[in-house]
Structure 1
């Protein structure tokens, strides 16, 4: 989406919001100016930074664990045969049901929050990595091997370019999932984070503060998505034309 279209979309949404707030005239739907004032008060940034830390670390942990394992399963059928039953069994299970176990293992702090977000996000990335590497054209690999290429050369010039778009697509989907789970895990045993700030403002009937925290959480998700989108474009330039 171009910058002009993005700004136009934001302007239209803010205009609709403003008009609806003027029409309803109720405290539970404050004006955009009141929400902006609540955001600029200063206290929200502490929660934004804490939530950013939790979700970025969670995505990093998920990538470091899921991508290598997925590529290994895709390129090594014997490894896939061993691990595939566990993946098939666990993939459809809503991972949030493991929250009590995660809390018992890692406590109530940031570690348990990072662990449950990473667990939930890692499965789609693992499956995408495995499936993408499984369907790499074997003729490309044979061609490089005939030219004397080693394992690292094959990975860098064939496997990685073929699988990276699929991995980044799974990561984009995972960002939305991680933000949703972040809200849930920040609703207990913490007094920091945007999820806690939303519920705290809601309980105090501070509707501008509530909407401000919601906007900040949405901005966090959009910002992370745009970062991955830029990484995707850079990766495609690095890979060259198909």
Structure 2
């Protein structure tokens, strides 16, 4: 991880030196300007707005997709009812729906949260559905033979079995959600990091532009790290080999 970071910074320095243009500043200039902008300008406000939008969208989409995915994965009847609609809706380019979504939900946070959640929902739904279908029936039969209810089987067998897949889907969806967030914030709005980046670009304030890009990257990295941390705490069996190798 450290080597990759060092290599990335070195490449950035090399490109900035070779380009010699104001639109590609050196990394140290971007870092210092980012720190000052977070303290002295409105950048922190736009960062918090973007963080709120992506957080609400991810949480809402995850809860809904997990619930429906588990239902479809463990019930053939539910699967036959839900999955055909998912197969039809998933390939539709959601970007084309953004103007329609804004017409129905307005230009505020709701339309942007819904747009991000709509894109992320299907990624999580299919992963959870497939993971729930792949649960070994022997484990379920063993717990059922002890008198466990369907709810107990879901909570103590199926849900733990799909958790690793859920966190993998969340990490993948973080990158998607960040890209969709940027797109949503460049369309008919004056708030958020996406708008801040494009506004700085239009004003040719390249240090401000890169500062917002750094903040957007850090926001995505923070969510990615959060999901990895939650996986380590909620799925400790997934990291037994790592602990053994450390010893």
- What's the CA shift for 1:188? 2.1
Q: Distance in 1 between matches of 2:203 and 2:71?
A: 51
Give deviations 1:170-202, integer Å, cap 9, x for gaps.
111111100000000000222221111110111
Confirm or deny that 1:211 pairs with 2:210: yes
- What's the CA shift for 1:24? 2.5
Q: Which residue of 2 aligns with 1:3?
A: none
Q: Which residue of 2 aligns with 1:179?
A: 178
Q: Distance in 2 between matches of 1:126 and 1:20?
A: 41
Confirm or deny that 1:36 pairs with 2:31: yes
Q: Distance in 1 between matches of 2:16 and 2:137?
A: 59
- What's the CA shift for 1:37? 2.6
Could you list the runs of 5+ residues in structure 1 that have no partner in the other structure?
A: 1-5
Aligned length: 237
User: Residues 1-12 of structure 1 correspond to what in structure 2 (within 5 A)?
Assistant: 6-12=1-7
Q: Which residue of 1 aligns with 2:200?
A: 201
- What's the CA shift for 1:241? 6.4
Q: Distance in 1 between matches of 2:102 and 2:227?
A: 30
Q: Match of 2:92, SS? A: coil
Could you list the runs of 5+ residues in structure 2 that have no partner in the other structure?
A: 242-247
Is the 1:109–1:189 contact (alpha carbons within 8 Å) kept by the matching residues of 2? no
- What's the CA shift for 1:10? 2.0
Q: Which residue of 2 aligns with 1:153?
A: 152
Q: Which residue of 1 aligns with 2:18?
A: 23
Alignment RMSD: 1.8
Q: Distance in 1 between matches of 2:49 and 2:127?
A: 29
Shift in CA distance, 240/198, structure 1 to aligned 2, threshold 3 Å:
closer
Q: Distance in 1 between matches of 2:149 and 2:173?
A: 33
Give deviations 1:111-135, integer Å, cap 9, x for gaps.
0000000000000111111111112
TM-score where L is the length of structure 2: 0.90
Is the 1:14–1:32 contact (alpha carbons within 8 Å) kept by the matching residues of 2? yes
Q: Distance in 2 between matches of 1:97 and 1:32?
A: 36
Is the 2:69–2:129 contact (alpha carbons within 8 Å) kept by the matching residues of 1? yes
Shift in CA distance, 240/179, structure 1 to aligned 2, threshold 3 Å:
closer
Give deviations 1:145-180, integer Å, cap 9, x for gaps.
111112232122210111111111111111110000
- What's the CA shift for 1:240? 8.9
1:13 to 8, 33, 44: 8
TM-score where L is the length of structure 1: 0.92
Q: Which residue of 2 aligns with 1:128?
A: 127
Shift in CA distance, 30/16, structure 1 to aligned 2, threshold 3 Å:
same
Q: Distance in 2 between matches of 1:88 and 1:122?
A: 13
Q: Match of 2:191, SS? A: coil
